[in-house]
Amino acid sequence: MNNIFQPIELLENAAAKCKSGHLQITANQVTWDLYFINGMLQDATHSLQSLATIEHYLLRNNQEAVAKIVANVAKNVPSRQPLLPSVLKQLTEKNHLTTDEVLSLKTDLIKDALESYLWLREAEYHWSDEQPQSSHQITIKGDNLFIISNLLDNLIIRMQNWQKFSAAITSPYQRLFCANPNLIQQKVPSGNLNPTALEQLVKFMQGKTLRQISLFVKQDELKVAQLLFPYLQSNILQLQPPQTTLDKLPSIPPLTPKNTPSKTQNSSQPLNNYKPTQSKQQKTYKIVCIDDSPTILNMIKAYLEEAQHEVITIDNPTQSLPYLFKYKPDLILIDFSMPGINGNKLCRIIKTSPLFKNTPLIMISGNEKMLTPENIKEAAATDYLAKPFRKHELQTIVNKYLHSNTNISKPLITTKIDTISSPKTVEKTEMKQLTRRKSDTISSRKYVEQQEFKLSDNLERKPIQITPTERDIDPITRLANRQCVEKYLSVIAKNHENRQSSFSLMFIKVNNLTDIKDTLGNSEGDNILRNIAKQIQSLVRENDVTSRWSNDEFVIIFNNVSHPKILEKISQRILNNIEKLSILSEHKLSLKLSHSVKINSLVGVI
C-alpha cells in the first residue's frame, strides 16, 4: 500500500543528518534511485529515463552532432551494464564530449529525475546504508556532489511555476493537437501568437509533446506552457495524455489556495513586493525579508503570504534602510552572509534606531556555525532560523513574535544601544561602518580552521595557499564557492595586519541571469556561467583568486593591488570581455552587468 509522504522533507532529512546511502522510491511502477554521500546528492535517476532523455538534453544544449550518435554508442554497451551511465562514460572516453560537457549533461539528468520526484504525493520508499555499485555509477574527473538546498531552491520555484498552468497542463509529456483548426482564427485576449504563427505551430507540432515543442522553438518547457496556456484554456488547442510508460510519471501537483506561488523576481534593485492588504477581516503584519538570493526571497514570500502576511523582499542589503523606514515592518528577516554588508552588522545598524527597538529581528543562514548564541547576541537579533528550513518552521518562528494584537513581543536578547534622531543619521552610520577599517568582525569568526591555509613567504604570489575540498567548490563553475572564500578572507585579513600586504575585491553581478535562464533554459544559463568563469580566469593573474560568490555574482580577490586607477582598468577589461561572449550573441542576447570594487576592506564582506 502506498504511503503519503513528503519528498522535500526526505531530501532535507538526508542533508541535515549528513546521511550516506541509497533512497529508493517506487510509485505507479516507476522507480527513483537517489544516492547520498555525507548528506550531499551523488546521483539521481528514475527508471523511465532513456536514450531519448539524453538526446533531449544534448539537443537543448545545441549538441546536435552528439545527439545523432547516441543510439550507435548505445549499441556497444554490454547488456548487463546500466545503459545511461555507460553511454555517458563512452561519450567521455571517445572524446565526443568534454569532461565539463558530460558533467553538465549528468547534472541535467539528475534535475530531470528530481523534478518528477518532487511531484510525487504517494509512494513507497526504502532507505539503505549501502553505497551504489561502481558499475551503476559514472566516475567523471572532477566529479562533484550536489548540495540539496541548492537543488531544491531552483526545483521548488520551477514546480510552483508549473502549478500555475495545472488547470490545463498536467505533464510536459502531454501531446498537442487541435480538434477544430477553424478555431485558430479566433482571438484570444491573453494569447501572444497571431493566427498564422499558431497555425504553423499546430501544423508542424501536432502530436508532439510539450517537451519536443520546446526544442523546436528553442525555449524551456515552462515558456512553451506559458505560451500555449491561453489557447488550451479557450479550448482552441487540446492536450492528449502522454504515451504509454511516460503516463506513469506523476502529474504536476494542482494548485490549491494554500500553495499559490509568488511570481519570480529578478532585479538588481531592491525587490519591493509590498501591496496594501485587501482583507479587512483578518489582521495582517508587514514583514521585511533581506537576502541576496532572489530564489530564497521568493520562497519566503510564498510561505508567509500563505499565512496572510504582507511581505516586502529586498535583495540589496546596502539599500535596505530607506525601505525599512518607509514600511515600518512588524518583523524583519535578515540573511547572515551577504555581499556589501553582512547581516550581523546590518542588524546592529537597524537596532540603533528607536523605531526598531522592539522589532523582532530573525537571522537566517545556511551556515549553522554562524548561528551561535554569541553571534546572535552580538547582532542584537531576536532569534535565528537555519537553512534549509521547512514552511512550517518559518511560519512557526514568525508567528511566535507576531501577536493577535498590535503589541510585538520584546527581543529575547537585550543589549545596550545608542539612539538616533533621524533615518539620515542611520544611513551615515551605515556608510561609516562600511568603510571603516576594522578587524573585529573577522577575528570573531573563530570557527575557521586555520590549518587549512598556510601563509606564503612570497608576497608576490598568493599570500595564502588554499587546498579546497569538494565542499569548497561551486558545482557549476568549478570555482571556489562562498564558503571557501570566506575562510580565505578570514585569514587574508591577518596576513594584511601582520605583513602589510594589500588586497582588493571586485564583485561582478549578472543582473539578468534569471531572464537568460527563462529564455534559454537552466542548462544554457549554467553554461553561460561557466563561460563567464573561464573568461574571468583568463584575464586575472595566477596569484589572484576568482570565486562564485552567489547565484548570479562572482568575486575576484586581487592580491597586492590597491591603486584605484589600475583596478578600474582591470575591471573594465574584464567586463568588456565578458559582455562579448559569443554564446550570447548567437541568441541575440546581452549580459547586464554591474560591479563594485573594495580596496583593502573586508568589513561588511564577511
CATH of the domain at 543: 3.30.70.270
Q: In this structure, what is the dihedral angle of CA atoms 57, 61, 65, 66, given to the nearest 10 degrees?
A: -50
Q: How confident is the model at residue 139 (pLDDT cuts 50, 70, 90)?
A: low
If asked whether residues 236 and 279 sit together in one domain, one would say: no
- ∠ CA 353-359-362, nearest 5°, is 115
CB atoms within 10 A of CB 146: 18
Using the predicted structure, report yes or no on whether residue 454 has a pLDDT greater than 80: no
Name residues whose C-beta falls within 8 Å of residue 519's C-beta, 6 or more positions apart in sequence: 219, 220, 223, 587, 589
Q: Check the CA dihedral 94-40-520-594 and report its sign.
A: negative
Q: Which domain holds residue 508?
A: 440-599
C-beta separation of 546 from 556 below 8 A: yes
User: Among 581, 477, 567, 571, which residue's Cα sits nearest to residue 529?
Assistant: 477
The amino acid present at 592, given as its one-letter code, is K
Give the number of residues written for the chain: 606
Which of 161, 195, 214 is the endpoint of a domain?
161
Name residues whose C-beta falls within 8 Å of residue 588's C-beta, 6 or more positions apart in sequence: none
Using the predicted structure, report yes or no on whether residue 117 has a pLDDT greater than 50: yes
Rounded CA gap, 20 and 14, in Å? 8
Grid cell listed for 396: 512557526
If asked whether residues 46 and 87 sit together in one domain, one would say: yes
Full 3-state SS string of 62-121: CCHHHHHHHHHHHHCCCCCCCHHHHHHHHHHHCCCCCHHHHHHHHHHHHHHHHHHHHCCC
Rounded CA gap, 336 and 357, in Å? 19
What are the helix (H) ranges across 125-278?
Answer: 148-163, 195-205, 210-217, 221-233
**What do you get for the CA distance between the two ends of the chain, in Å?**
51
Using the predicted structure, report yes or no on whether residue 197 has a pLDDT greater than 60: yes
What integer pLDDT is reported at residue 277 of this predicted model?
A: 34
Sequential DSSP letters for 156-200:
HHHHHHHHTTTTT---TT-EEE-S-GGGGGS--TT--S-HHHHHH
The domain that holds 351 is classified in CATH as 3.40.50.2300
Rounded CA gap, 376 and 368, in Å? 12
> Is pTM, for the whole model, over 0.85?
no
Q: 343 vs 330, which has greater pLDDT?
A: 330
Q: Tell me, yes or no, whether 255 lies in a domain.
A: no
Instruction: List, for residues 510-525, the tens digit of each pLDDT value.
Output: 888 887 777 777 888 8
Q: Tell me, yes or no, whether 377 lies in a domain.
A: yes
If asked whether residues 20 and 133 sit together in one domain, one would say: yes
Q: 539 vs 398, which has greater pLDDT?
A: 398
If asked whether residues 139 and 28 sit together in one domain, one would say: yes
Q: Do the bridges between strand 331-335 and strand 361-365 make them parallel or antiparallel, or are there none, so unpaired?
A: parallel
Rounded CA gap, 439 and 421, in Å? 28
If asked whether residues 402 and 501 sit together in one domain, one would say: no
Instruction: List, for residues 289-336, the tens digit of each pLDDT value.
Output: 998 877 788 888 888 888 888 899 888 888 788 788 888 899 999 988
Q: Tell me, yes or no, whether 253 lies in a domain.
A: no
Instruction: List, for residues 357-377, the tens digit of each pLDDT value.
Output: 889 999 888 776 777 777 788
Burial label, 208 (beta-carbon count in 10 A; 0-12, 13-18, 19+): middle
What integer pLDDT is reported at residue 130 of this predicted model?
A: 73
Q: Tell me, yes or no, whether 605 lies in a domain.
A: no
User: Which secondary structure element, helix H or strand E, spans residue 453, and what is its range?
Assistant: strand 453-455
C-beta separation of 158 from 397 below 8 A: no
* In the block, residue with C-alpha cell 590597491: 562
Q: Tell me, yes or no, whether 257 lies in a domain.
A: no
If asked whether residues 319 and 338 sit together in one domain, one would say: yes
Which of 143, 161, 179 is the endpoint of a domain?
161
Q: Tell me, yes or no, whether 254 lies in a domain.
A: no
Kindly report which listed range (19-33, 79-93, 133-147, 454-468) carries the lowest average pLDDT score.
454-468
If asked whether residues 135 and 192 sit together in one domain, one would say: no
C-beta separation of 21 from 127 below 8 A: yes
Provide the β-strand partners of residue 465: 454
Which of 128, 161, 194 is the endpoint of a domain?
161
What integer pLDDT is reported at residue 232 of this predicted model?
A: 92
If asked whether residues 173 and 155 sit together in one domain, one would say: no
Please, what is the average pLDDT of the chain?
Answer: 76
If asked whether residues 444 and 593 sit together in one domain, one would say: yes
User: Among 379, 383, 345, which residue's Cα sits nearest to residue 362?
Assistant: 383
What integer pLDDT is reported at residue 518 of this predicted model?
A: 74
Q: Check the CA dihedral 262-266-272-275 and report its sign.
A: negative
Grid cell listed for 214: 520546446
Q: Tell me, yes or no, whether 565 lies in a domain.
A: yes
C-beta separation of 232 from 239 below 8 A: yes
If asked whether residues 154 and 170 sit together in one domain, one would say: no
Name residues whose C-beta falls within 8 Å of residue 49's C-beta, 6 or more positions apart in sequence: 84, 109, 112, 113
Q: How confident is the model at residue 138 (pLDDT cuts 50, 70, 90)?
A: low
Domain total for the chain? 4
- What are the C-alpha distances in Å from 116 to residues 155, 221, 331? 10, 14, 36
If asked whether residues 174 and 229 sit together in one domain, one would say: yes
Q: Tell me, yes or no, whether 571 lies in a domain.
A: yes
422-442 exposure pattern, b = at least 16 Cβ within 10 A, e = fewer: eeeebeebbeebbeeeeeebb
Mean pLDDT over 159-170 rounds to 91
Rounded CA gap, 12 and 19, in Å? 10
Phi-psi region of 207 (alpha: psi -120 to 50; beta: other; left: phi over 0): left
If asked whether residues 474 and 402 sit together in one domain, one would say: no
C-beta separation of 289 from 297 below 8 A: yes
